[in-house]
Structure 1
Amino acid sequence: MVERISKITERWFLSEEALFSVFCTHRVAENSGMECHVRVGKGVIEVNPDLCADITDKELEERLRIEVIRILLKHPYDRQPDGCCITARALGSNCVIGDSYRLQKIEIDKPSDFKLPSNGHYEFYARCIQKILQKLGGQGQKEDDSEENSQPQGECNDGGFGKEYTDMAKNWQQDELMAAQVNEVIRDVKSWGSLPGGLVEEIVASTKARVDYRKILAGFRASILSQKRKLTRMRPNRRSGFYAMGSRYDFTTSMIIGVDCSGSISKADLQNFYSTINRFFQYGIQQIDVVQFDTELGEVQTLVKASENIKVTGRGGTWFQPFIDFVAQHSEYDGALIYTDGYAPQPTIPATMHTPLCWVLRSEQELKEHEQWMKQSGRVCVIENIS
């Protein structure tokens, strides 16, 4: 098997600079225990010698090409969609490759197989397919949505697609070091060989800095947590030992979220955002005040957990100033979030407002349009919807 792969990569050395360069960032290992022919992850390209013994060299090369293209796109290392099981991520990755790269010897999943549009990105396909698997009753165990373990590799039912898919993506996990190494290879590539232009553009675009809302929200949450000191006999005093009571700190906070409910924000957008609020409930925040607004401020509601049934009010234009003024007048809040598309006049931040602010947008395009003025008053991040 090693000899067959060596002959393939020797040809790549002469004509496929991009494929050969990124192939060299991984080591090759045989694994007869997996259900798929080839898979990548954790810096290894694994090949099943039993399954590959029955296929031609041309087919083996195509299967290697697919996995190396996955590395170039960094699907196994840098782009693990939240709430998606292993099967959904594997199928989502296949859809991106099947949509933009023509294969001759093997069939690969395409967006049309799931009645999805072309030219979508990896996260879009993975999340859409996750919903399809849920309807089929095969969503399995979703990813743990915690911030300390934001990219775990939990088990997942295959939804009827076969264990091949769960094995294929089993070793995918967030790996910033490997992603950076692949990015460095991509920047040095001079010739892209047989890779089509559209796919090359997507690979190059993936090297640009991406705003990770998980890190933004985690940092924002950490910055607004307040401490309450309590005396306890269970912990010794640092100066006098158990002769005096020690201290214990409970983390609590008070938070308000402004939700833009103008006509340009869909219900699917709101559901996507409300589900993200779970992150705050998991770490120290007991309740959150939420107020919907368009040109006027709605009624403040208190959430103790993220809600899926959302009653939307307003649906007019957008004006941030009433919400900003409300936060400035209520100094008891430790932090404020605003979920919006950003299409409204820039608000004036009162000098009396000391509450940390975080703007949450729906897309990278909106980020490009509004980031400059938003970051003057707080953090900015993106939570993309799948609709």
Structure 2
Amino acid sequence: MTDNLTSIVALDARTSVPLEKTPLETYVPPARPSLIGLSRGELAQCLGAIGVAPAQRKMRVQQLWHWTYFRGARNFGEMTSVSKEMRARLDERFTVDRPEVVAEQVSSDGTRKWLLRLPSGDRLEKAHEVECVYIPETDRGTLCVSSQVGCTLNCAFCHTGTQRLVRNLTAGEIVGQVMVARDRLNDWADRDTPSGGRLVTNIVMMGMGEPLYNFEAVRDALLMIADNEGIGISRRRITLSTSGVVPNIIRTGEEIGVMLAISLHAVRDELRNELVPLNRKYPIAELLQACRDYPGASNARRITFEYVMLKGVNDSLDDAKRLVRLLKGIPAKINLIPFNPWPGTDYECSDWDQIEKFSEYIFNAGYSSPVRTPRGRDILAACGQLKSETEKLSARERQALRAMAMTD
């Protein structure tokens, strides 16, 4: 199993195309690190570092947790139940900063996309950016969250996959995206609305990156998001989507317990090898066995199989029949995703009547087969379209900058 910071690069012998990219960088904390994303135990250690007595730490941790994740405090000055002296000591060493909103785009359908800048402690480091998308619906509000700057994988139909993998996000940077959304939508505990209902009700780990190649940070962030004393989004309203990192699928069920989605997209290994090159490492049969073994899977907690509809590629009736046979015995639903075009792609979306025929066959076979309504296409916020426009320096360029700095 690959390490979070030094993923193995596996090459396809025929094409020499990397199945997995190696992160170019690791996280460098700023001089005053944010407390966002720290566990209660880590918060207690931070309090100890500023002289808080052991007997007081549990109470102080609960205060910080409440103000940070329940009320959404953006600085220590807002934490009025904490003494002024304590707030001053905290402010000298730490912050409760989240990612900075660089740009916001609003689609004609109400979808919002935020370009978020991540703070860095390295003065030579160009600030990294990720994208996060909020999709309002009549019965819910879904936030699509990123797990990496860039992506580990090279899925042929995905715009995000064309980027280099710069680095993994920290748990704080993942949780911070949810907090930014609540900030922008005025969605914290004291939100003044007639219904009092939340706007962000569901989380999908379907943004930039492959979540299961950043497992520990994603796990810690999702457990924090689900914590009932803070953000409090139920695990049954959190879905993690993976392209098929088989060794970490069972761990997801055991250690996180959220809903699982699989980016399948093909029913034959030879085609999936092309669309999702990771399939050469973890072929369909191995992937589906991990799904059969997924802890907690049942008719009430079905696994979602995502299937992008590509014209003339994977959308035949024969493909639909094979899909039904493949998923036999797995509590499943199939999300059919009309392909969302992006600049430079060679793929086209299937014709609508073909998508309907495909969906009808699956439905008649006993599977739920909703066709995902494209949202945010006009701002490149739809599925498979996310790609930060930030230019990233190469490792060699960074070394040159550091060498220049040392000679100044």
**TM-score (structure 2 length as normaliser):** 0.29
Higher relative contact order (CA 8 A, sep 6+): 2
Larger radius of gyration: 1
TM-score using structure 1 length: 0.30
